[in-house]
Chains A and B, each alone.
Chain A
Amino acid sequence: MQNPFETSQSRPEEAFAVAAERFLGLLKSFGVPTAGGVTDWSALARPLATQFEQLLRTSQSAGPWFAAAAAMSPGAAGFAAPLAGTFGLPPLGPAAVQNGEAQRSFELLGRLAQLQGQLAVHWSEIASTAARRFVERLGAIAAPPATPDQALKLYELWVSCAEEAYAATVHREDFGRLQAELVNTSAALLVEQRRHAETLVRAFGLPTRNEVDALDTQVRELRRQLAELARAPRASGGDAGETRGRSHGAAQSGPAAPPRAKRPGRRPSGKRARGPRR
C-alpha cells in the first residue's frame, strides 16, 4: 500500500484506491439506513477515531531521518546485515564501534522511542477530538446517508472536523518543539550511522566523506582564485564578466560569454559579489 507521505512518484490509482477504501470503511461505520429510526451516532466516535489515528501514524514514519532510525533499531537488520555476511564480521552499527560511540547511538534510539510515544499521544488526542466534534455536528441528522451524494456530504463534514482538530493541536508550540526534536534526534542518528560507516570505509582504504569534503573545499578555493586572476586583467580592460555558465550556442543571440551589463557607479564600492563557486 502506498504511503503518501513517503512516495517520490505519483500513483494516483493506488492513492485513490486507498482513499476510496477508507471512505467505504467510514460508510460502513455509519451503518445502513434504518426504517424511520433515529440513529445513535455516539457509537461512531471510536471507529472513526481509530481510523484517523492510523492515518496520522503513517505520516510519522516518513523521511530519511526516520528511516535511519529504523535501520538502527535493535532487532532491525538495517544495511549492516548483508555486509556482515560478506566479510564475516559485523563492522557497522552500534556493535561495531567503540563502546562510547555505541552508547551514543543507543541513547539516541531511546530518546527517539520516547519522542515517538509523545507524538502518539498527540495523534490519539487529535483523533478522539475529531470524532467527538463530528458526532456533535451529526446530532441534527436523523439517519445514515442513503445516496452517494449524501454520503459524500457527510464525508466532507468528517474531513472538516478532522482537519480542525488536527490544526488545533499542530499549531501549538509544544507540538512544534516535539516535531523538531524528533527530526533532530533522527538526523543525529543518521549522522552517527554515517560515522560508523566511515570507520569501515577507512579500514578498506577508501576515501571518507570528510576527505571528499576537504577536496571539495580546495577545488572551490582554487576556482575562486582562478576567477580572481581572470577578472584582474579584465577589470583594467573594462570587462567585469563574472558569468561562469555555458551558453548553448544555437539559441544565443549574444556573445558566447556574455559580459555583465556595466553600471558604473551603481554598485557600492568594495562590495563586489564573491568569486565563482560551484
Chain B
Amino acid sequence: LRPPGADAGTPFTDLSLRIAETLARLRRAREVTVGGSARRAVWSCGKTTLYRYLPLASAAAARGPQAPLLICFALVNRPYVLDLQPDRSLIRRLLEAGLSVYLIEWGDPDDADRRVDLQDYIEHHLGGSVRHILAAHRAPALDLLGVCQGGVLSLCYAALHAHEVARLVTLTTPVDFHTPDNLLSKWVRHLDTGLIEACGNVPGEVLNGLFLALMPFRLTQQKYVRLLAGTPDQRAVEDFVRMEKWIFDSPPQAAAALAQFVRWFYQENRLVRGTLEIGGRHVRLADVRQPLLNLYALEDHIVPPAACAAMRQHVGGRDYTECAIATGHIGMYVSRAAREEIPARIISWLRAHRRTRRGLRAQ
C-alpha cells in the first residue's frame, strides 16, 4: 500500500513518513486478539449463552459472604469490550477482587429469531441466567451489573423480580430517553417501528452506521488522523485496533426486540412515564429498591449524562449512589478511568454494601 499523499506536493514529507509508518504499524497489528480471561459456558437459551469466569489464583480472598455478580451487556454490542486485554479489563479487575463473575452473551440472532422480543430477553434469557446462577450458588439473590442497554434490561428485571437482585450497578444506562441532548432519540422518534419490524432482523452494520453518524467527522476521520500525533507506539496502535475490531463487530438485532426497544423506550419513554409492561406485568422504577450504584459518563454522545442521572428521581430505593466520570461512552469501558476508577468504585461499593448471611446489609 502506497502512503497516500506521497505525491501531494506539500512540504510535509515528515507527515508522509508518519503516515507510512502508521500504516505499517496498523498492518502489523492486524492479528491482535481480544478477550483474555478464562471462562466457560454454563447455561444457554436460544442464541444466549451464560459464561462463568474462572477465579484467578491471585484473587483477593473474599471477605464475608459474596453474592455472585452477573453482567448484563447491551444487545447492540458485544461484551468482550469489558475484557479487551489483560490491562484493560473490568472483568479481570472484578475477578482480582475475588468476585464470582458471570456474563451473558446474547449471540447472533438469525432469521428464526426475528420474533424474539424484549419479554423473551428479560424473562427467559436474563431471567434464566439469574435462576441458573442462584441455583448453582444456592443463593437467594445475586448482584446485577447492567451496561448501557443491558442496564435498561437489568432495571426491568430488578423491578419485576426484586427478591432475586440484591444490589444493582448500572453503567451508562439511560432511563429518561427524552432529554434534549439525546440525538439518537430525536432521530428514531418518528420511525415506523411496525415497518422496521416487518423488514426483519437489522444487521449490525446499520446500527454501526447510525452510531457513527452521530459525530461523523470525529468518528470516521479524526480518530484515524490522531494516530499521526505524538510519538508512534506499536502498543498504542494495537490497543487502537482492538477497539476498532470491537466497534465494527456488532451483532444483528432481532426485529421484534429492536422495534419494541425503539418504540417503548426511545419513542414513548415508558420507563420514566411508568407505562412499561413486560409480559403483562407493569414495570415500575419505584419498585427498584435495591441498593443502586449508577455510573455514567459526562461526555457520552450516545447516552447523554442527563438520561442516566434521571434515575435518581425515579427509583424507589433510598440507598442510591451515583458517580459521573469525565469520559465518553466508550471511554467508560476502555479509558484510564475504566482501568482504574470504575472497577475501584464498583468493588468498594459492593464491599460497603456487603450482605450478611441473613440478607441484611452489613453497613
Q: Which residues of A contact B (CB under 8 A)?
A: 4-10, 12-13, 15-25, 27-28, 32-33, 52, 55-56, 59, 62-65, 146-149, 151-152, 155-156, 159, 162-163, 166-167, 170-171, 173, 176-177, 179-181, 183-184, 187-188, 190-191, 213, 216, 220, 242-248, 250-255, 258-261, 263, 266, 271, 273-274, 276-278
Which stretch in B84-92, B128-136, B143-151 binds the other chain? B128-136
Contact (Cβ within 8 A) A246 B43: yes
Q: Is B329 an interface residue (CB 8 A)?
A: no
Q: Closest residue to B280 on the A side, CB-wise?
A: A274
Task: Give the complex CA separation of A167 and B217 in angstroms.
Answer: 11
Contact (Cβ within 8 A) A19 B225: yes
Extra A-B contacts (6), CB below 8 Å, given A251-B41, A252-B43, A278-B115: A23-B221, A64-B199, A155-B222, A170-B183, A180-B190, A191-B198
Task: Give the complex CA separation of A33 and B141 in angstroms.
Answer: 68
- Residues of A close to B138: CB separation below 8 A: 254
- Residues of A close to B15: CB separation below 8 A: 24, 27, 148, 151
Q: Is B204 an interface residue (CB 8 A)?
A: yes
Q: Which of B4, B42, B190, B198 sits near A177, CB closer than 8 Å?
A: B190
Contact (Cβ within 8 A) A254 B212: no
Q: Do A56 and B23 form a contact, CB below 8 Å, given A183-B191, A245-B44?
A: no
Contact (Cβ within 8 A) A248 B44: yes
Q: Do A266 and B162 form a contact, CB below 8 Å, given A166-B216, A176-B190?
A: yes
Contact (Cβ within 8 A) A20 B228: yes
Contact (Cβ within 8 A) B10 A27: yes
Contact (Cβ within 8 A) B186 A176: yes
Task: Give the complex CA separation of A141 and B212 in angstroms.
Answer: 31
Q: How far is the CB of B207 from chain A (nearest CB, A)?
A: 10
Contact (Cβ within 8 A) A248 B42: yes
Contact (Cβ within 8 A) A243 B128: yes
Which residues of B in the span 1-16 have a Cβ within 8 Å of any Cβ on A?
Answer: 1, 3-5, 8-12, 14-16
Q: Closest residue to B40 on the A side, CB-wise?
A: A251
Q: Which of B8, B215, B228 sits near A148, CB closer than 8 Å?
A: B228
Q: How far is the CB of A117 from chain B (nearest CB, A)?
A: 19
Q: How far is the CB of A243 from chain B (nearest CB, A)?
A: 5
Q: How far is the CB of B109 from chain A (nearest CB, A)?
A: 10
Of A16, A247, A259, A260, most buried by chain B (CB within 10 Å of CB) is A16
Q: How far is the CB of A181 from chain B (nearest CB, A)?
A: 7
- Residues of B close to A190: CB separation below 8 A: 199
Task: Give the complex CA separation of A37 and B3 in angstroms.
Answer: 31
